[in-house]
Amino acid sequence: MTLKKGLQLFGLLTVLFTLIPIAAADNWWIRIFDFPHAQLTGLTLMAIGTFLVKFDLRNWRDYAFITVLIACFMYQFVKIYPYTPLANVEIADSSSAAQDEIRVFTANVYQQNTAHDKVLTAIKNEAPHLILLMETNQKWYNAVHPTLSKTYPYFITEPLENTYGMLLYSSIPLEDTAIRYQVSDRIPSMKAMATLENGAQVQLLAIHPTPPMPQHKASSSDRDKEMMLTAFEAQNTDKPVIVLGDFNDVAWSSTTSLFRSVSRLLDPRVGRGFYNTFNANSWLMRWPLDHLFVSPHFRLKKIGAGTSIGSDHFPVIATLSFEPEAKEKQKPAPPTQDEIDRANAQLGDQSMQFTLE
């Protein structure tokens, strides 16, 4: 096969991979194409550059081909653009006068991972106030709980053997704690009210929905519904909110974008970077699957992906400052009616409905 034929074949695949996720369907083999927008952006740009350098545009077919490639590149780039430093941030940097901080450490530890000490060392080095560990079974609980419970006396634990166990630890007082099975009797989520040193209460919501993969769930319906249930809860409280977890979805997907809009929460990665967390074992196929969303009461001191803990995920580490007096300066735009309708369709519950108010 000649280079030109190879580039043309790649162009056809690019068009296909670009069009597939536009379909309004929740089949796993469609939703999986939400993930590689960053990779496709880079590869498409390389293909455009190679074609223009190596070949002259001799006829309408060449012009049509390069036009289609450029259109695909632009579409892919627009999807990931908000998560580049070229975009404006959603959450402002912490002010120098900020007093109240919350340091967060969240990680999918990978249930089969036996490097328990790596996780404990990472936590010790970061000294977070709040820790969420996912894919934690009884072995993980036995390995980390004796150590963590000494420093973090407030905790919610739900170790499971199905890769959906969760352990939440906090040095900040927690009350009204709950473990919920909102969508499936196999998939837990957690809820708690944290009280900061200044007395302010913060609603914590932690989720790890099932991915749209044939070995888990053939469609994204359960994942999408749990995300919308969480968004509904976040949007309908008068408390500051922190949502965290492995969403099994990328930041730029239609579902996560919808979650962000209808929940009225902010994403600290916007205007800063991808902070890819999965797959830790592949430098090329990495995506931001682990998320942190906050209400406008917070500003950001730092965020990043941690170093390897022996898992297929890197941790997410962030330091937030609680600055409610400045919340109006970064209040998100309200969702559109179309977004409200889509979110309500995914909720599928007439007793809970998003509104424009």
Model confidence at 24: pLDDT above 70: no
In the three-class reduction of DSSP (H, G, I as helix; E, B as strand; rest coil), residue 145 is classed as helix
**Distance from C-alpha of 294 to C-alpha of 88, rounded to nearest angstrom:** 17
Count CB neighbours of 63 within 10 A: 11
**Distance from C-alpha of 128 to C-alpha of 132, rounded to nearest angstrom:** 10
Identify the pLDDT of residue 270: 98
Domain match, 169 and 318 both: yes
Please report which confidence band the pLDDT of residue 218 belongs to, taking 50, 70 and 90 as the band edges.
low
Domain match, 276 and 134 both: yes
Domain match, 64 and 139 both: no
The amino acid that residue 328 corresponds to is E
**Distance from C-alpha of 283 to C-alpha of 85, rounded to nearest angstrom:** 20
Q: Which residue has the tokens 């749209």?
A: 212
Identify the pLDDT of residue 211: 83
Residue 198 lies in a domain: yes
Residue 356 lies in a domain: no
For residue 279, cis peptide bond before it (omega within 30 degrees of 0): yes
Domain match, 115 and 46 both: no
In the three-class reduction of DSSP (H, G, I as helix; E, B as strand; rest coil), residue 95 is classed as coil
The tally of domains found in the chain comes to 2
Categorise residue 176: left if φ over 0, alpha if ψ from -120 to 50, beta otherwise.
Answer: left
Q: What residues pair up with 201 in beta bridges, in sequence order?
A: 195
The domain boundary residue, chosen from 53, 83, 113: 83
Q: What residues pair up with 134 in beta bridges, in sequence order?
A: 108, 166
pLDDT in tens, 287-334: 999 999 999 999 999 999 999 999 999 999 999 999 999 899 999 999
Residue 144 lies in a domain: yes
In the three-class reduction of DSSP (H, G, I as helix; E, B as strand; rest coil), residue 134 is classed as strand
Q: Give this prediction's pTM.
A: 0.93
pLDDT in tens, 233-261: 999 999 999 999 999 999 999 999 999 99
CA atoms within 13 A on the CB side of 304: 6
Identify the pLDDT of residue 109: 99
Domain match, 43 and 111 both: no
Residue 92 lies in a domain: no
Residue 89 lies in a domain: no
Residue 341 lies in a domain: yes
| CATH number of domain containing 127 | 3.60.10.10
Domain match, 170 and 281 both: yes
Domain match, 156 and 294 both: yes
Model confidence at 122: pLDDT above 60: yes
Domain match, 142 and 180 both: yes
Domain match, 161 and 53 both: no
Please report which confidence band the pLDDT of residue 98 belongs to, taking 50, 70 and 90 as the band edges.
confident
User: Contacts from 347-354 at CB under 8 Å and sequence distance 24+?
Assistant: 347/225, 347/228, 347/229, 347/232, 348/225, 352/229, 352/232, 354/231, 354/232, 354/235, 354/262
Domain limits for position 283: 101-347
Categorise residue 109: left if φ over 0, alpha if ψ from -120 to 50, beta otherwise.
Answer: alpha
**Distance from C-alpha of 59 to C-alpha of 65, rounded to nearest angstrom:** 10
- Stated length of the chain: 357
Domain match, 140 and 188 both: yes
Domain match, 172 and 320 both: yes
Residue in 256, 195, 265 with CA at minimum distance from that of residue 233: 265
Identify the pLDDT of residue 99: 79
Domain match, 26 and 132 both: no
Please report which confidence band the pLDDT of residue 272 belongs to, taking 50, 70 and 90 as the band edges.
very high
pLDDT in tens, 26-37: 665 666 777 788
**Distance from C-alpha of 152 to C-alpha of 156, rounded to nearest angstrom:** 11
Q: At what angle do helices 60-80 and 37-54 cross, to 10 degrees?
A: 150
